[in-house]
Amino acid sequence: MNLGTWAPPTLHGMAARLVSRQRLLNLVISNVPGPQVPIYLAGAKLLATYPVMPLGETLALAIAVTSLGGTMAFGITSDWDSMPDIDDFASDMHSAIMDLKKAAGE
């Protein structure tokens, strides 16, 4: 069971503030599972979600992952001064995910 999905927003906010004050931390990765059934608003189907995670004072990189209807979306936020090669990182991450899909037979 993923207890993070049961935590109220207040606890998520408290955790975010705590993480943003950490001095030994430079990367945060968050996974927020979304609904696996179709979602509609005013008759329009939600097709995608795009996660964004803000950077704290000491963070160089934040990766947010969310899912919707059997798909996953990744949001990558970085400090340009700390990671000027973020485009290479994103490309390498995409290649690694494709390798995992191939290994899984998809």
pLDDT digits (tens, 9 = 90+) for 59-91: 889 999 999 988 899 999 999 998 899 999 999
Q: Which has the closest alpha carbon to 2: 33, 29, 28, 27? A: 33
pLDDT digits (tens, 9 = 90+) for 10-66: 766 777 777 666 667 788 899 988 889 999 989 999 998 888 888 877 788 999 999
Specify the pLDDT at position 100. Answer: 95
Specify the pLDDT at position 6. Answer: 55
pTM of structure: 0.70
Domain boundaries, the chain: 3-81
